[in-house]
């Protein structure tokens, strides 16, 4: 198809066909363009041409509709009658008709724009010569649009697909739930977190431990709330990317019952707060035992509460309690130095003690027994100090060599006169010669602290005054009979009466100093024929029989009543299994060597003296003292009666009994009032068995 040319064009201006083709937009007259024939690319080219002319393109509605750029001058507008140039591609003659239509649509606005530009700029102005129209209409914007639409659809689909899915790599309190959906992740978390909530957490402070179970102490977790924040519909690309490829490590949502948690923290604080423990040195025989000091610790309850809130659900099972340490008054370094330089050397060897012509050794065990290390305050601060008991060392010297024994005598009291008519008297004290225990202490410590120890000391035999003077003894004023009691005995039983006499004589005149104990067994034992006792009736395992010392239980009853009625502190006694009419109900005691004893303690400020004797078929006792306590006693009526048992005895020495007497329970009450102070009330109850019927089989 031949090219259609505009007759107004000058052929001489074109060198060849290509030149005509390129310059066509400058001369071709545009056809009447419809709105559909003007696209965005054409407008862009028009604006570029206008910018090259140095003018801001201004489009009027008329020209915008026609696809032609407006100029500054109305005279520059293109003629609507200008012919349209049709360009044919030499290389595509087969589709000439289609190309003609297409090229016409593509170049019509461009040609109009070029003509307008030529007319407005004058002859010879070729600044728009470089603006060329595209050869073919481009389709790539549509492809891009389709791709964008497809990507958008895929993006939305991905957002919905990941709505309930957790991130690709996710741990909650260390529990791996990576990539799971909520329905699968919830039971995994609940199992693991539930186990952690129910386990014991160990809370430590120094070497002290305490335990807490979070679930029992007000701490709880919420799996649903934890997962809710991680899974929901989102179009945020960062969130979607994280669910597909991201990694996260999060904490669970927890809650705390403040009241229960505070109570638990208070309990932990009490268990883990402790005062510092001072170091110590003790001696066991010739062995030194050293205990290191331990720092004290005070728990910071507020910080511990916060720490538990933050960590109770973690994988950790041990928590170190926050708080403040408190140092002991003497450091471990000070103790170790003292042990090495003083405490241990004391017992490394014996000490030889010489006094005039007497000499004796104090063994490491004797030295250790008299030694004590205590912490003492000084100008330089607290420090360990070794002290020695001078009296104990003096006694050890006497034990090793009686030449060291002091000849002084302490004042005391004694009972004079015949049994039953005795009177307390003061035995005066006297001075004598002996070793001064304090001098022994001073000499040992001086040698021990010397640069070179000799392990040998010399002391003097000095005049030693009694520790208890005559004036002290007279001030006791023990001339008061503070208790008195008597019980009958069957005088027809000779062996039993003989045992009573032996026992009473050994008790009579016993002096019990303040703070010391009356001990019946130490006065009567051994209960043997060689020691003056005879075989007589006893109750053994609930039945009557004979044994050496039969009847001594009456001496026990009298000894008990002396202490009981005198207000002494009862330490040990045991009533008979069955009640004997000669004894007061509930206020009596039996005795069996090595098994049952009578002991009471003198808790007054003066000695007491026990007097005991037999007279008129009765055993009498009297307690002499300072009339310290005001004592009153009561005994209840018997109650809770029980029937007497029947016992079959196969022993060859069985003694039959008719029995039949009922058992019962009785209460005994005592009130004692010291000179200054409140009344002291005490009660004892005892259940007696009935007298059995014994059948000898």
Give a yes or no: residue 637 inside a domain: yes
The residue from 291, 323, 358 where one domain ends is 291
CA distance 556 to 504: 10
- Say yes or no: 489 and 470 in one domain: no
State the Cα angle at 540 between 534 and 544, rounded to 5°.
75
Low-confidence stretches of the chain (pLDDT < 70) are: 1-42, 44, 47-137, 154-155, 157-165, 168, 229-236, 238-248, 541-543
> What is the structure's pLDDT at 484?
97
Query: For the chain, what is the domain count?
Result: 4
- Say yes or no: 484 and 455 in one domain: no
- Say yes or no: 464 and 482 in one domain: no
Residue 211 tokens read as 């335990």
DSSP letter at 130 equals T
Q: What is the CATH number of the domain that holds 466?
A: 3.10.20
Helix (H) or strand (E) holding 343: none
- Say yes or no: 572 and 686 in one domain: yes
> What is the structure's pLDDT at 36?
46
- Say yes or no: 488 and 465 in one domain: no
- DSSP for 503-517, written as a single string: HHHHHTTEEE-TT-E
Secondary structure of residue 589 in the 3-state scheme: coil
- Say yes or no: 519 and 649 in one domain: yes
The residue from 118, 138, 158 where one domain ends is 138
Give the torsion through C-alpha atoms of 341, 342, 344, 347, to 10 deg.
Answer: 140
Beta-carbon contacts of 663 under 8 Å, excluding residues fewer than 6 positions away, are: 578, 641, 642, 643, 644, 687, 688, 689, 690
- Say yes or no: 642 and 506 in one domain: yes
- Say yes or no: 583 and 678 in one domain: yes
Q: At what angle do helices 40-52 and 96-121 cross, to 10 degrees?
A: 30
pTM: 0.52
- Say yes or no: 520 and 580 in one domain: yes
Helix (H) or strand (E) holding 347: none
Give a yes or no: residue 5 inside a domain: no
Give a yes or no: residue 364 inside a domain: yes
Give a yes or no: residue 148 inside a domain: no
- Report how far apart the first and last C-alpha atoms of the chain are (Å, whole number): 156
Give the residue from 643, 644, 645, 648 showing the smallest Cα distance to 695.
648
Residue 372 belongs to what domain range? 333-474
A 10 A CB-CB count for 343 gives 21
Give a yes or no: residue 163 inside a domain: no
- Say yes or no: 515 and 561 in one domain: yes
Q: Which residues of 111-143 are buried (b: 16+ CB within 10 A; e: fewer)?
A: bbbbbbbbbbeeeeeeebeebebeeeeeeeeee
- Say yes or no: 449 and 559 in one domain: no
> What is the structure's pLDDT at 148?
83
Residue 210 tokens read as 């305490």
- Say yes or no: 223 and 106 in one domain: no
Secondary structure of residue 274 in the 3-state scheme: strand
DSSP letter at 671 equals E
Task: Tell me the residue ranges of DSSP E strands in 225-322.
Answer: 247-250, 253-256, 280-284, 287-291, 296-299, 318-320
CB 369 within 8 Å of CB 353? no
> What is the structure's pLDDT at 513?
97
> What is the structure's pLDDT at 66?
39
> What is the structure's pLDDT at 559?
98
Give a yes or no: residue 387 inside a domain: yes
CB 37 within 8 Å of CB 109? yes
Give a yes or no: residue 200 inside a domain: yes
CA distance 619 to 420: 10
CA distance 695 to 697: 6
**Residue 188 backbone zone (phi > 0: left; psi -120 to 50: alpha; other: beta):** alpha
Give the residue from 129, 166, 182 showing the smallest Cα distance to 243.
166
The residue from 258, 273, 291 where one domain ends is 291
Helix (H) or strand (E) holding 41: helix 40-52
CB 529 within 8 Å of CB 548? yes
Give a yes or no: residue 309 inside a domain: no
Give the residue from 350, 355, 369 showing the smallest Cα distance to 406.
355
> What is the structure's pLDDT at 117?
43
CB 132 within 8 Å of CB 90? no
């Amino acid at each position: 198809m031949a090219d259609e040319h505009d007759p107004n064009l000058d052929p001489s201006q074109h060198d060849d066909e290509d030149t005509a083709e390129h310059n066509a937009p400058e001369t071709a007259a545009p056809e009447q363009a419809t709105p559909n024939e003007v696209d965005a690319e054409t407008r862009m080219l028009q604006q570029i041409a206008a910018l090259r002319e140095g003018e801001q393109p201004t489009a009027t509605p008329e020209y915008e509709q026609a696809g032609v750029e407006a100029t500054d001058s109305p005279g520059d507008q293109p003629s609507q009658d200008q012919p349209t140039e049709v360009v044919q591609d030499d290389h595509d003659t087969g589709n000439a008709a289609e190309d003609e239509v297409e090229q016409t649509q593509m170049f019509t606005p461009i040609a109009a724009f070029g003509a307008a530009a030529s007319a407005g700029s004058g002859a010879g102005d070729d600044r728009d010569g470089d603006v060329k129209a595209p050869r073919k209409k481009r389709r790539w914007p549509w492809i891009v649009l389709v791709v964008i639409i497809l990507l958008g659809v895929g993006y939305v689909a991905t957002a919905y697909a990941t709505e309930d899915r957790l991130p690709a790599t996710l741990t909650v309190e260390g529990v791996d739930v990576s990539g799971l959906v909520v329905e699968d992740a919830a039971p995994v978390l609940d199992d693991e977190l539930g186990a952690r909530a129910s386990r014991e957490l160990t809370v430590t402070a120094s070497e002290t431990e305490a335990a807490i179970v979070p679930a029992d102490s007000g701490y709880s977790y919420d799996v649903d709330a934890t997962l809710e924040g991680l899974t929901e519909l989102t179009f945020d690309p960062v969130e979607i990317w994280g669910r597909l490829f991201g990694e996260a490590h999060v904490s669970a949502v927890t809650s705390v019952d403040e009241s229960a948690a505070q109570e638990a923290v208070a309990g932990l604080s009490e268990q883990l707060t402790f005062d510092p423990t001072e170091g110590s040195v003790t001696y066991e025989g010739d062995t030194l035992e050293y205990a290191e000091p331990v720092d004290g610790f005070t728990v910071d309850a507020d910080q511990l509460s916060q720490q538990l809130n933050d960590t109770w659900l973690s994988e950790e099972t041990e928590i170190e309690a926050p708080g403040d340490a408190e140092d002991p008054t003497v450091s471990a370094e000070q103790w170790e130095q003292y042990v090495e330089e003083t405490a241990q050397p004391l017992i490394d060897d014996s000490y030889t003690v010489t006094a005039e012509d007497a000499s004796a050794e104090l063994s490491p065990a004797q030295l250790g027994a008299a030694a004590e290390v205590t912490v003492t305050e000084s100008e330089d601060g607290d420090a360990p100090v070794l002290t020695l008991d001078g009296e104990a060392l003096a006694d050890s010297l006497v034990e090793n060599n009686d030449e060291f024994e002091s000849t002084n005598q302490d004042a005391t009291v004694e009972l004079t006169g015949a049994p039953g008519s005795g009177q307390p008297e003061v035995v005066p004290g006297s001075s004598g010669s002996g070793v001064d225990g304090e001098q022994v202490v001073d000499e040992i410590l001086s040698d021990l602290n010397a640069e070179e120890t000799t392990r040998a000391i010399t002391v003097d035999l000095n005049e030693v005054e009694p520790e208890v003077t005559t004036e002290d003894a007279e001030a006791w004023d023990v001339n008061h009979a503070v208790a008195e009691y008597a019980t009958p005995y069957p005088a027809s039983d000779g062996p039993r009466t003989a045992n009573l006499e032996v026992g009473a004589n050994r008790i009579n005149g016993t002096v019990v100093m303040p703070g010391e104990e009356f001990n019946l067994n130490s006065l009567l034992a051994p209960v043997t024929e060689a020691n003056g006792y005879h075989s007589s009736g006893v109750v053994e395992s609930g039945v009557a029989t004979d044994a050496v010392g039969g009847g001594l239980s009456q001496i026990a009853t009298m000894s008990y009543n002396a202490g009981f009625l005198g207000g002494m502190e009862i330490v040990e006694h045991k009533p008979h299994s069955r009640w004997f009419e000669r004894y007061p109900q509930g206020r009596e005691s039996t005795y069996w060597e090595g098994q049952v004893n009578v002991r009471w303690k003198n808790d007054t400020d003066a000695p007491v003296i026990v007097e005991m004797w037999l007279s008129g078929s009765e055993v009498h006792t009297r307690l002499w003292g300072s009339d310290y306590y005001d004592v009153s006693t009561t005994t209840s009526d018997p109650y809770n009666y029980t029937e007497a048992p029947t016992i079959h005895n196969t022993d060859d020495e069985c003694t039959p009994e008719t029995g039949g007497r009922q058992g019962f329970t009785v209460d005994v009450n005592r009130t004692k009032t010291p000179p200054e102070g409140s009344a002291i009330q005490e009660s004892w109850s005892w259940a007696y068995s009935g007298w059995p019927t014994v059948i000898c089989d």
